[in-house]
Amino acid sequence: MSSSEIEKKKKALSYGSELRQDIVTGDWVVIATGRAKRPQEFAQSERAISDETNDPFENPAESGQEPDTLIYRRQDGEWSLRVFPNKYPAFSSGRKVREISDGPYFAMTSTGYHEIIVTRDAKKSLGLLSVWQVAEVFDAYQERYLELMNKKSVNYIQIFHNHGKESGASISHPHSQLLAIPVISPYIQLELQGAKRYYRSNKQKVYGIMTEYEGESKKRVLYENEHFIAFCPFASRVAFEIWVVGKRANPYFERITDEEKFALAEVMQKALFALYQGLNNPPYNFYIHTAPCDGKDYPEYQWHIEILPHTATWGGFEFSTGIEISTIEPETAALYLREQLDK
């Protein structure tokens, strides 16, 4: 590496985190220098969730968080939900995207926004909240999405929720995360391409076909209402995987209506409660997959939520092939989860 390249790299590292692209697959990796650890720190035998007696989300200002970007208050003036920038962001705001490639490899500064959405109750997970409390969470998701989607360098907004240590939650207080980023992940690209390919071959929208069939057959349905359906997908990647999909064709999460938000909150609360009840509060991740906010149209796509419980650990086959092994039929999983709601 030449002296100029070395100097360029030093400047990039001081600039913030990096987005590096796999030269073969096109996959993206974030090198989060803002969260940097010394090499020996990775040798810890246990990575416990933060001490619940020292909750940094109970009073974010006192724990060094930046000021709220959004706060909801109850009638008594106490806050019920708040959103603030992540103290240790994977993406840095207020900066321009800069290329920092290295030889044949392409990389750029990890520019974007990284926020935390926190519910008030430090003990209750979303599945134990009331429907209106869950609806308030989706209100916040939508409000922050609309605020950030037109920012420079933002082409995709990923909203996700980690529950439990095995899911990646380092703080026990329930919270979601929002990352507004300059790139569209290969996973989303595959979904967009698959939806377009199915439409070209069948002249029908694939997510509409799925929800219609699942609603008619009932074999894998966990719960549904007028606007949304929750089901264990036919090709479930993990045991007890759940998808929540809207019945109205809509590629864009941010265009959800108030009526749909409350209906979504009901279905999500039922799905997460069934997991809590039936699997003894398992760790899980859920995330929203929506069409990019890059100014293009994606009429064949459908925004949806995927819920992935952690019931097993990946081994060599899964890592080497990308083919996941689920140890229960989704039909059996759905039946068991439905029974939890009947109790």
Please provide residue 12's backbone torsions phi and psi, each rounded to the nearest 5 degrees: -65, -40
pTM to 2 decimal places: 0.91
Helix H, strand E, coil C: the string for the chain is: CCHHHHHHHHHHHHHCCEEEECCCCCCEEEECHHHCCCHHHHHCCCCCCCCCCCCCCCCCCCCCCCCCCEEEECCCCCEEEEEEECCCCCCECCCCCCECCECCECEEECECEEEEEEECCCCCCHHHCCHHHHHHHHHHHHHHHHHHCCCCCCCEEEEEEEECHHHCCCCCCCEEEEEEECCCCHHHHHHHHHHHHHHHHHCCCHHHHHHHHHHHHCCCEEEECCCEEEECCCCCCCCCCEEEEECCCCCCHHHCCHHHHHHHHHHHHHHHHHHHHHCCCCCEEEEEECCCCCCCCCCCCCCEEEEEECCCCCCHHHHHHCCCCCCCCHHHHHHHHHHHHHC
Strand partners, 140: none
Sign of CA dihedral 120, 122, 125, 129: negative
Say if residues 103 and 1 touch (Cβ distance below 8 Å).
yes
User: Over the chain, what is the mean pLDDT?
Assistant: 90
Give per-residue pLDDT as tens, 231-249: 999 999 999 999 999 999 9
Q: Which of 63-72, 136-145, 286-295 has the lowest mean pLDDT?
A: 63-72
Distance between CA atoms of 8 and 288, rounded to whole angstroms?
36
* CB distance 236 to 326 below 8 Å: yes
The pLDDT of residue 43: 61
**What share of the chain has pLDDT > 90, as a percent?**
69
| Domain range list for the chain | 186-342
> What whole-number distance in Å separates Cα of residue 53 and Cα of residue 61?
17
CB 229 within 8 A of CB 244: yes
pLDDT tens track for 90-115: 888 867 788 888 999 998 888 999 99
Q: How many residues does the chain have?
A: 343
187/174 Cα distance (integer angstroms): 26
Burial readout 152-190 (b: 16 or more C-beta within 10 A, e: otherwise): ebbbbbbbbbbbbeebebebbbbbbbbbbbbbbeeebee
User: Does pLDDT of 4 surpass 80?
Assistant: no
d(CA 95, CA 90): 13
Distance between CA 148 and CA 50 in Å, rounded?
A: 29
pLDDT at 61: 81
Q: Minimal CA–CA distance to 163: which of 221, 205, 106, 123?
A: 123
State the pLDDT confidence band at 313, using cuts at 50, 70 and 90: confident
**Confidence (pLDDT) at 6:** 44
Q: For 146-205, what is each residue's pLDDT tens digit?
A: 999 999 889 999 999 999 999 999 899 999 999 999 999 999 999 999 999 999 999 999
For the structural domain made of 186-342, what CATH number should be given?
A: 3.30.428.10
